[in-house]
Structure 1
């Protein structure tokens, strides 16, 4: 195959995905059934019908404070629940970087109803919280801190269904749940096979209410998922192939959404990219970026997860470039044209990626949130002792020595290649 024809074929393959009918609701099946497309919210009727058929007529609902109303989701959910005589209790206390306190509050709010399924409405925070609460309701003798510090090992949970309202975490199609433990200033992660949602909804019209800042943060999260999921020691062809598609979609459609938040075609493709990214790291797992960011936002919960990832991402990729430059180039090359993965490109990649991140709104480094180099030993201690962060570090493509970790945090402390 000639180089010219290979380039032409790659362009045709890209167009084949880009030209799908975004108004046709389709199913993605990967651990769960996810409905994708404009109007997918109307599939909630089918979900309720399926729950009633299983004699599950009491639901605990987890959301954030207000977006579930402003984005139009509640206008569909509430009448549908009443149509099927499904009793419900609403907990609307989920916050960014949800905590064990919130999980315990939700469990307490639901106890009188004794729900037999959970509905999470929102982005990663309500859905991750929903996964934890779905477990805790089956184990009344334990609280959320017990769960998140692995003081017991659950083996089942209530059925969880989700209505996803962002395009970053992929949690609507994966098994992961991240809930901070307030007293310990840690941000552990669960991963149980019974935590896949049964049904999920990805409707780009819902995401149109995201602010420019939220849009950037969640999309950077998706980029981190695939760059890590494609470069761990257990990455395989599936996680890498998904990562390459996600890099292309983000490069093409994030600028369009930032220019026009109501561009439903662009929102559709970013939702699809986010789901693919969730599948990628569900297979390939994660390493430095997420492990090191969990320490940061565990200590300072006001940091948006995606923003925290963006602050340290260039330094992580720089450290990993000697081992995984070709794979990273196949993903980041859509954002930074011309990358081949050659060792000499590491500095160029760092500079250009930092510029791109600032262009989409990730415009601070660690010093902008008060982090200091003299505190790095404490960050390292948390990395080594917070389950499952040591496991993530063990999967990194470059050995996670204290020196490498310190170097990544140091590089991420200030802007080096550009001025803020």
Structure 2
């Protein structure tokens, strides 16, 4: 049996932000808590959203303290502000960090307790407070998934909360909000989306529906990411990446992920590193490991990336896939190895132990040992 999760309403394309304001009004919300980060507030994007809400009669208050890797403290601070102002909905504005923080706040607003209580799969009892997620990046797909990643600073780990009740009510992907993304962020979030698509396609929980979404996302990312990075004002490339990251999200939201994310979560939690960059560095090394079980699927991905695989067998196709991933990462200036990010080999034992506990590890196509994970980290240095 397969279950397919997705928000009830998903608005896409140029101008969708204006339509979203009317949709928010139609739900009868009175006061929204906007969860975002300091930069989006500083450059005026938050003020634009507040103005739009004001025109449809919705009051708003702002929490802009979200860290790049949102923490348990961020969730607690946001929840306190929500309660103080009796907010009846939450609006997340930004990329994965504000979206995940907002999911944590909205979940606790109705279920109570501490966000640590919900680590794992479907631990909540009640639907969260209504959440509208307005996306400004093209990578995490957190605006439409049931995944919520929160850093626990006390344990130095990222908690994976996978819960149908953190799925937003509405997602908004207006590429006009993505035009100002700098090159580095565009590259990291784009490679994050590619990782979502590839891990979903080789996942042990893949279905024909997730396969279709994943392969189309791989093709669109391969065709548009370089342009989006190098020509940030290219509307067509930005819109294509918005659609691609959403389809990759549809794929992994339902097929889940694998060792790339399970390992990247540990790097992010331990060293406070950017998630998309960690994924990009690990991706080819994990797929090299997975090739023993899913070479044919990796060959399909190579074809989706534009490689002519017609004369290749499955193992050759898998090698071509890994080479294409490395080439794309290099073209968008992703670091070549973990050593460039300050990762230390003496930490691999702890990182591997925690990676195998991560919910994302369950659907990796090869179930490995602690030593296997340490070996992958080592190759990725």
Q: CA deviation at 1:392?
A: 2.8
Distance 1:324 1:110, change over 3 A: same
State the partner residue of 1:199.
170
State the partner residue of 1:320.
290
The structure that has the greater radius of gyration is 1
User: What is the alpha-carbon distance in structure 2 between the residues aligned to residue 275 and residue 151 of structure 1?
Assistant: 22
Correspondence for 2:133 among 162, 165, 182: 162
Do residues 171 (structure 1) and 142 (structure 2) align?
A: yes
State the Cα deviation string for residues 220-275 of structure 1 (Å, max 9, x = none): 11111111111111111111111111111011111211221011111001000000
- Which SS does the other structure have where 2:335 is aligned? coil
State the Cα deviation string for residues 72-129 of structure 1 (Å, max 9, x = none): 6435422232233323221001121111111111111222112111000011110111
List structure 1 runs of 4+ shifted beyond 6 angstroms: 149-152
User: What is the alpha-carbon distance in structure 1 between the residues aligned to residue 373 and residue 130 of structure 2?
Assistant: 39
Distance 1:326 1:156, change over 3 A: same
State the partner residue of 1:6.
none
User: What is the alpha-carbon distance in structure 2 between the residues aligned to residue 322 and residue 116 of structure 1?
Assistant: 50
User: What is the alpha-carbon distance in structure 1 between the residues aligned to residue 348 and residue 97 of structure 2?
Assistant: 27
State the Cα deviation string for residues 333-372 of structure 1 (Å, max 9, x = none): 3436234562245555444432331221212411122323
Q: CA deviation at 1:68?
A: 4.6
State the partner residue of 2:267.
296
Show the 5 A alignment for 1:40-79. Answer: 40-52=16-28, 56-68=29-41, 70=43, 73-79=45-51
CA contact (8 A) 2:7 2:171 kept: no
User: So what's the TM-score if we normalise by structure 2?
Assistant: 0.92
CA contact (8 A) 2:302 2:324 kept: no
Distance 1:78 1:375, change over 3 A: closer
Query: How large is the RMSD of aligned CA atoms in angstroms?
Result: 2.1
CA contact (8 A) 1:103 1:133 kept: yes
Show the 5 A alignment for 1:126-137. Answer: 126-137=98-109
CA contact (8 A) 1:325 1:341 kept: no
**Unpaired stretches in structure 1, ≥5 consecutive residues:** 1-28, 414-420
CA contact (8 A) 1:68 1:122 kept: no
Do residues 409 (structure 1) and 364 (structure 2) align?
A: no
Q: CA deviation at 1:157?
A: 1.0
CA contact (8 A) 1:41 1:73 kept: no
- Which SS does the other structure have where 2:157 is aligned? coil
Distance 1:100 1:148, change over 3 A: farther
CA contact (8 A) 2:123 2:163 kept: no
Do residues 186 (structure 1) and 157 (structure 2) align?
A: yes
User: What is the alpha-carbon distance in structure 1 between the residues aligned to residue 11 and residue 321 of structure 2?
Assistant: 36
**Unpaired stretches in structure 2, ≥5 consecutive residues:** none
Correspondence for 1:122 among 85, 94, 97: 94
Show the 5 A alignment for 1:224-373. Answer: 224-301=195-272, 303-335=273-305, 337-339=307-309, 340=312, 342-373=314-345
User: What is the alpha-carbon distance in structure 2 between the residues aligned to residue 332 and residue 36 of structure 1?
Assistant: 28
User: What is the alpha-carbon distance in structure 2 between the residues aligned to residue 307 and residue 395 of structure 1?
Assistant: 22
User: What is the alpha-carbon distance in structure 2 between the residues aligned to residue 82 and residue 349 of structure 1?
Assistant: 49
User: What is the alpha-carbon distance in structure 1 between the residues aligned to residue 342 and residue 330 of structure 2?
Assistant: 19
